[in-house]
Amino acid sequence: MYRITAIVLAAVAGLLAIVGYFVEGEHLLGIMNVDVTLDVLRTVLAVGLLVVALAPVRSTVVRAALFVFGALYLIMGLYAFADPELFGLLPTRLTGFDIAFHIVVGLATLVVAAMRDRGWRADRTTAPRASGR
C-alpha cells in the first residue's frame, strides 16, 4: 500500500513539475501555480518518492518518505493561508485551489503513512516457515 501510494504521488508531483517547467510565470489552466520554485520542489519530491518506492527497502523507509511528502505539502498549504507567495519564495501567488490541493493531499498522505500495514508485505526478506507436517 505504501509503495503504490508513493508511486502515484510521484507520478502526480512529477507530472505537475514537468508541465510547470513549460508554463512558467503563469497559472496552469488558471488554477495551479507553476513557478520554478514549486517545480524544483515537486521534482525532488517525485524523484525521492519514486526511488524509495522502487528500491528494495523496508516499508518503514517508504512510510518515512510519505510522512515527509505529506508534511511538506500540508505545511505549504497552511503557510499559504498566511501569505500566498510563501513569504517571497513564489513570484506568483498560490490560488485557492493550490491551497486546498496541498492541504488535502498532505493530510491524505499523512493518514496513509500513519496506517498500519496489514496486507501482504513486499519487503519480507524470509519466506514463511513450513510446519514440518
Q: Give per-residue pLDDT as tens, 51-102.
A: 988 888 888 888 888 999 899 889 888 888 887 777 666 767 777 888 888 8
Rounded CA-CA distance 38/19 in Å is 11
pLDDT score of 127: 46
- Residue 85, amino acid: E
Mean pLDDT taken over the chain: 79
- Where is 24: in which H helix or E strand? none
pLDDT score of 132: 56
Range of the domain at 6: 2-114
pLDDT score of 11: 92
Rounded CA-CA distance 46/116 in Å is 23
- How many domains does the chain fold into? 1
**Residue 72 resides in a domain:** yes
pTM score? 0.74
- Where is 37: in which H helix or E strand? helix 36-54
Query: Average pLDDT for residues 18-25, to the nearest whole number?
Result: 77
**Residue 131 resides in a domain:** no
**Residue 33 resides in a domain:** yes
**Residue 133 resides in a domain:** no
**Residue 39 resides in a domain:** yes
DSSP secondary structure letters along 72-117: HHHHHHHHHHH-TTTTTT-SSPPPHHHHHHHHHHHHHHHHHHHS--
